[in-house]
């Protein structure tokens, strides 16, 4: 009887250990996100296209991208102290990515505004997808305005493409809507909240003028290296 009890206890301890390991693995896998800082547990990426709008990853450059060979002879000099990046700017968020919005353009009741995503940090990012956009009221609360990835009267969306965005470089997107009664049920918005991708730092841009603040729904193009036409 003692041998049987010992065996039962050992079995229960083995099962408990296995359950603990499984729970730990599940917990770790659930923490994975769309924004992964370079060198923090992510294996070397293989090219892929995201099926979810707005995917942004921090990546290490491949060896040799920004390398400097040491002198062939003599002592290797001490590394020079780091200098501020040319891409650095006062409003650069902790992610190293910042969004800007241009002037609203008008054409036959349609409105469009250019968005720019700039790498103001010190490491490259793998960008694949669309901006994250919300319409806000005068109190900063989100309004029920639909945001669609895709083409509009003001610009063609060729779809998302994985792009390596290096420090100091920029990508572009076009945001468009209709501001006339022919567009359907219109909602008056006071500002646009825009982020490089869902989950990253957003900036808020006010909408000025009654002909601009009326919206039906928004259409946006994917981030690309050239401005959409």
Q: What is the pLDDT of residues 110-160, one digit of tens each?
A: 999 999 999 999 999 999 999 999 999 999 999 999 999 999 999 999 999
Which H or E element spans position 219?
strand 218-220
Query: Is residue 171 over pLDDT 70?
Result: yes
- Cross-strand bridge partners of residue 163: 127
172: which strand partners?
116, 224
Query: Which residue ranges form the domains of the chain, and what is each CATH number?
Result: 97-220 (2.60.40)
The edge-to-edge listing of strands for the beta sheet with 203-206 is 132-136, 191-195, 203-206
Q: Does residue 107 or residue 222 have the better pLDDT? A: 222
Tokens of 119: 């790498």
CB 157 within 8 A of CB 115: no
Dist. CA 128–CA 16, nearest whole Å: 41
**Number of other residues whose CB lies within 10 A of the CB of residue 99:** 24
Outline where DSSP puts E strands in 27-160. Answer: 55-58, 97-101, 105-107, 110-119, 125-128, 132-136, 147-149
For residue 4, the model assigns a pLDDT of 46
Cβ contacts of residue 100 below 8 Å, gap of 6+? 115, 116, 118, 203
- The pLDDT, as a whole number, for residue 210 is 79
Quickly count: other Cβ atoms within 10 Å of residue 47's Cβ: 7
pLDDT for the residue 14:
46
Q: How far apart are CA 216 and CA 105, in angstroms?
A: 16
Which residue from 90, 82, 161 is spatially nearest to 123, judged by alpha carbons?
82
Classify residue 92 by its DSSP letter: -
pLDDT-derived band of residue 55, with 50, 70 and 90 as boundaries?
low
């Amino acid at each position: 009887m003692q041998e049987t009890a010992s065996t039962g206890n050992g079995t229960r301890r083995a099962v408990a250990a296995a359950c603990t390991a499984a729970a730990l693995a599940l917990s770790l896998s659930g923490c994975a996100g769309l924004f992964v800082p370079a060198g923090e547990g992510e294996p070397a990426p293989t090219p892929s296209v995201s099926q979810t709008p707005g995917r942004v990853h921090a990546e290490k450059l491949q060896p040799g991208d920004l390398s400097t060979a040491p002198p062939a002879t003599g002592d290797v000099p001490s590394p020079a102290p780091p200098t501020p990046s040319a891409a650095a700017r006062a409003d650069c968020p902790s992610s190293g990515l910042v969004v800007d919005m241009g002037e609203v353009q008008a054409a036959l009741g349609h409105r469009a505004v250019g968005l720019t995503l700039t790498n103001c940090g010190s490491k490259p990012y793998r960008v694949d997808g669309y901006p994250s956009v919300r319409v806000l009221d005068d109190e900063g609360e989100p309004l029920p305005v639909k945001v669609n990835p895709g083409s509009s009267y003001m610009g063609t969306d060729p779809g998302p493409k994985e792009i390596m965005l290096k420090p100091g470089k920029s990508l572009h997107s076009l945001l468009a809507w209709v501001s006339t009664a022919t567009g359907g049920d219109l909602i008056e918005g006071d500002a646009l909240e825009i982020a490089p991708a869902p989950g990253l730092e957003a900036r808020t841009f006010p909408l000025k003028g009654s002909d601009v603040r009326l919206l039906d729904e928004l259409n946006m193009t994917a981030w690309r290296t050239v401005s959409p036409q």
